[in-house]
Amino acid sequence: MQFTLRHHTAGDYDALPDMNDINAGVLSREDQLCLNELGRSLLNTRSNSRFGISLLHSHFPVSDTEVFVQTSDATKRTVSLSPQRLEPTLQKSMAAMNVRFEETQTSNAISLIGLEYFLKQSAPGIDSINSADANVLGSIHAVLDRHGKTARFGVRVIHMSVELADDEVYSESCDIDRRVLICEVVNKRDPLLARSIETFWVWPDLCASADDPDIIAHCPAKCKITCLDGNFGHPRGHKDLHKTIDGDETSSASSS
Ligand SMILES: [Zn+2]
Ligand 1 centre to CA of 55 (Å) is: 8
Report pLDDT digits (tens) over 69-108.
Answer: 999 999 999 999 999 999 999 999 999 999 999 988 887 8
Answer for the pair 116, 225: CB distance below 8 angstroms, yes or no.
no
Beta-bridge partner residues of 175: 180
Chain length of the chain: 256
Ligand 1 centre to CA of 34 (Å) is: 20
Ligand 1 centre to CA of 69 (Å) is: 14
Question: What distance in Å separates the CA atoms of residue 202 and residue 51, rounded to the nearest whole number?
Answer: 7
Ligand 1 centre to CA of 41 (Å) is: 25
Ligand 1 centre to CA of 204 (Å) is: 22
Question: What distance in Å separates the CA atoms of residue 91 and residue 95, rounded to the nearest whole number?
Answer: 8
Ligand 1 centre to CA of 227 (Å) is: 5
End-to-end CA distance of the chain: 50
Ligand 1 centre to CA of 95 (Å) is: 20
Question: Which pLDDT belongs to residue 145?
Answer: 96
Answer for the pair 118, 95: CB distance below 8 angstroms, yes or no.
yes
- The values of phi and psi at residue 25, to 5°, are -105, 5
pLDDT averaged over 10-residue windows placed end to end, the chain, 256 residues: 92 92 83 91 93 94 96 93 96 97 86 97 92 95 96 94 87 91 91 85 80 59 69 45 46 36
Ligand 1 centre to CA of 1 (Å) is: 31
